Amino acid sequence: MKKTVIAPGQGTIESDELDEPQTSLAVATHLEDCIHVECNGLVYPEGDVREQTRELFGLVEKMLDDLDGTPNDLVKLRWYVETGVYSPSTRGTVQEVQSEFVDRPHYPAGCVVETPAIPVSGAVLELDATATIPDDGWTVETIAGEEK
């Protein structure tokens, strides 16, 4: 089995023993019929919510493109939003930007976690993203969740 490590050791760490963080920006595991991708702790410390969201999706798009994938391969988004920033308007802005990158009906599952502070000055959003890049493309089925 193959593992692709994307941008290992990025950033700084306060340690007497280590020169760099012992994590990677993303890791892709190459499976029999797909590539599974985990991106973590993505931040962009400039601009408003719209600009930060657009830059984060652009970074994810670039990583997936390097693995022959697209944002339509995203299956889960976990947004960490600084306390006081999250609102229905913020959610709408994030969704609007997401629609620029992800086509209907490929909408990923998602959640928002409100957090006291993002550990990068200027960033109000942090993104963890999971993608599955299939070898043969997607067949998408939707379930409307009809009430019984």
Residue-level pLDDT at 148: 61
- State how far the Cα of 84 lies from the Cα of 59, in Å rounded to an integer: 25
Residues of the chain below pLDDT 70: 9, 147-148
Phi–psi pair at 112, nearest 5 degrees: -125, 130
Residue 76: the pLDDT is 98
Q: What does R_g of the chain's alpha carbons equal in angstroms?
A: 17
pLDDT of residue 27: 94
Task: List pLDDT tens digits, range 32-69.
Answer: 999 999 999 899 999 999 999 999 999 999 999 999 99
| Signed CA dihedral, 19, 22, 27, 31: sign only | positive
Which domains can be identified in the chain, with CATH numbers?
Answer: 2-134 (3.30.1330.40)
Confidence at residue 147, expressed as pLDDT on a 0 to 100 scale: 67
What does pTM read for this prediction? 0.90
